[in-house]
Amino acid sequence: MEISGSVAVITGGVSGLGLGAASRLVTGGGSVVLLDIDQRGGSSALEKLGERARFFVCDVRDPDAVTDVVTRAAAEWGKIDILVNAAGVAPAQRVISRDGELFDLDLFQSVIRINLVGMFDVTRHVAAVMARNEPGADGERGVIVNVASIAAFEGQVGQAAYSASKGGIVGMTLPLARDLAGIGVRVMAIAPGIMDTPLLAGAPQELKDSLAGLHVFPRRLGSPADFAHLVQAIVENPLLNGEVIRLDAGARMPPR
């Protein structure tokens, strides 16, 4: 699929990886609809991206809100060609803390609801909109890119909930691709390594440097631009489907 003239919905699109993808798609001649809970971030993203961007407040945990914003997003430019599911949270907690406190079950469920259930909910609604597109080359009607993490494969201490949510995205990639093949929609997942985004903003430089050292080569943190580059490659390459691509400079995460 060509970026130029395309319309993309991007969850978590006002920050980090989602915003990086939005910038690249707009630069390439596409239009974007950003869905996020962060209103202030939405306003500054719109300023940055210009007239081919829209922003709707949406908590992906809320099924009514998702139904509503996908309908509004589809109405903006009359179609949706691309979906990037980048909304996510990454809180860390041990199953049993050093002082014996158990992992908070509400926190566990909240991570799954945002990262996994929310992503699936947006996917099913957007796929239904994509099904109405005129088919392009090979009968293609849409491309969906979900954001997993290398924590799906090598979750670290404290990442039980996060890894479960991202593992769910990895496991869902092939069946989603198989389910949506009938309407000409491809589904891919990207599993980023350690990316320099607001998710890491609170971390001291020392920690960022040591995390960057886990990347084998190049030995630097990944960037939203690196992520956006891969989103573009996935959108443009019609044979990429049903697969998870690690974007991690060869990193394999240690236990902590």
Ligand X SMILES: NC(=O)c1ccc[n+]([C@@H]2O[C@H](COP(=O)([O-])OP(=O)(O)OC[C@H]3O[C@@H](n4cnc5c(N)ncnc54)[C@H](O)[C@@H]3O)[C@@H](O)[C@H]2O)c1
- Contact between 192 and ligand X by CB under 6 A: the answer reads yes
d(CA 56, CA 71): 11
Window 75-114: residues binding ligand X (CB under 6 A): 86-90, 114
User: Given the rule CB under 6 A, which of 7-15, 98-106, 134-142, 170-178 is the region that contacts ligand X?
Assistant: 7-15
Q: How many CB atoms lie within 10 A of CB 164?
A: 17
- Contact between 203 and ligand X by CB under 6 A: the answer reads no
Q: For 163-215, what is the HEC assignment?
A: HHHHHHHHHHHHHHHHHHHHHCEEEEEEEECCECCHHHCCCCHHHHHHHHCCC
Nearer to ligand X, 88 or 142 (CB): 88
- Contact between 60 and ligand X by CB under 6 A: the answer reads yes
Residue from 31, 38, 74, 172 binding ligand X (CB under 6 A): 38
- Contact between 245 and ligand X by CB under 6 A: the answer reads no
Q: Could you tell me how many residues of this chain bind ligand X (CB under 6 A)?
A: 30
User: Given the rule CB under 6 A, which of 25-33, 37-45, 171-179, 212-220 is the region that contacts ligand X?
Assistant: 37-45
- Contact between 53 and ligand X by CB under 6 A: the answer reads no
Active site residue 201: no
- Contact between 181 and ligand X by CB under 6 A: the answer reads no
User: Given the rule CB under 6 A, which of 21-29, 59-67, 178-186, 202-210 is the region that contacts ligand X?
Assistant: 59-67
Task: State the nearest-atom distance from the C-beta of 121 to ligand X, in Å.
Answer: 11
Task: State the nearest-atom distance from the C-beta of 184 to ligand X, in Å.
Answer: 26
- Contact between 7 and ligand X by CB under 6 A: the answer reads no
